Amino acid sequence: MATSTVLITGANSGIGRACAQAFASKGWNVAATMRSFENAQALSNIPNVRTYQLDVTDAASVSRAFSDVEQAHGRIDVVVNNAGYGLMGVFELMTDEQLRDQMETNVLGLMRVTREAIRRMRPHGAGRIIQISSMGGRMTFPLYAPYHATKWAVEGFTESLHYELRDLGIAVKLVEPGLIKTDFAGRSGVAVLPEGASPYGAFVAKFGAAATKALADAVSPTIVADTVLQAATDSSEKMRYPVGKPAPMLLRLRKLLSDKAFFSAIRKAYKI
pLDDT digits (tens, 9 = 90+) for 179-237: 998 765 445 679 999 998 899 999 999 999 999 888 888 989 999 999 999 999 999 99
pLDDT (0 to 100) of residue 38? 77
Q: What confidence category does residue 1 fall into, taking pLDDT thresholds of 50, 70 and 90?
A: low
Q: What ranges in the chain are assigned the alpha helix state H?
A: 14-25, 41-44, 59-73, 96-103, 110-121, 145-166, 201-214, 221-233, 247-256, 259-269
CB 105 within 8 A of CB 87: no
pLDDT (0 to 100) of residue 233? 96
Largest CA distance in the chain: 65
Which CATH class name applies to 5-269? alpha beta
Chain centroid to CA 76: how far? 19
Q: How many CA atoms lie within 13 A of 106 on its CB side?
A: 27
Task: Say what percent of the chain tops pLDDT 70.
Answer: 97
Nearest C-alpha neighbor of 173 from the set 56, 24, 14, 19: 19
Report d(CA 54, CA 74) in Å as an integer: 18
**Is 147 marked active-site?**
yes
pLDDT (0 to 100) of residue 246? 92
pLDDT digits (tens, 9 = 90+) for 108-141: 999 999 999 999 999 999 999 999 999 999 999 9
Element housing 130 (H / E): strand 127-132
Which one from 52, 144, 147, 241 is the annotated catalytic residue? 147
What is each CA distance from 114 to 43, 129, 264, in whole angstroms? Answer: 24, 7, 37
CB 76 within 8 A of CB 127: yes
CB 180 within 8 A of CB 19: no
Which one from 151, 173, 241, 270 is the annotated catalytic residue? 151
**Is 235 marked active-site?**
no
Mean pLDDT of the chain: 94
Q: Which residues of 255-266 are buried (b: 16+ CB within 10 A; e: fewer)?
A: eeeeeeebeeeb
CB 148 within 8 A of CB 188: no
3-state DSSP assignment of residue 194: coil
Task: Say what percent of the chain tops pLDDT 90.
Answer: 87
3-state DSSP assignment of residue 6: strand
pLDDT (0 to 100) of residue 188? 63
pLDDT (0 to 100) of residue 183? 61
Q: What share of the chain is helix, strand, coil (3-state, %, to 5)?
A: 50, 15, 30
CB 12 within 8 A of CB 179: no
pLDDT (0 to 100) of residue 98? 98
pLDDT (0 to 100) of residue 57? 98
**Is 271 marked active-site?**
no
Q: What confidence category does residue 37 fall into, taking pLDDT thresholds of 50, 70 and 90?
A: confident
pLDDT digits (tens, 9 = 90+) for 227-270: 999 999 999 999 999 999 899 999 999 999 999 999 999 999 99
3-state DSSP assignment of residue 129: strand
pLDDT (0 to 100) of residue 181? 86
| Residues near 252 by beta carbon (within 8 Å), at least 6 away in sequence | none
pLDDT (0 to 100) of residue 169? 97
Which one from 4, 13, 52, 133 is the annotated catalytic residue? 133
Report d(CA 170, CA 168) in Å as an integer: 6
Report d(CA 79, CA 200) in Å as an integer: 41
Dihedral sign (CA 4, 33, 112, 244) = positive
pTM of the predicted model as reported, rounded to 2 decimal places: 0.95
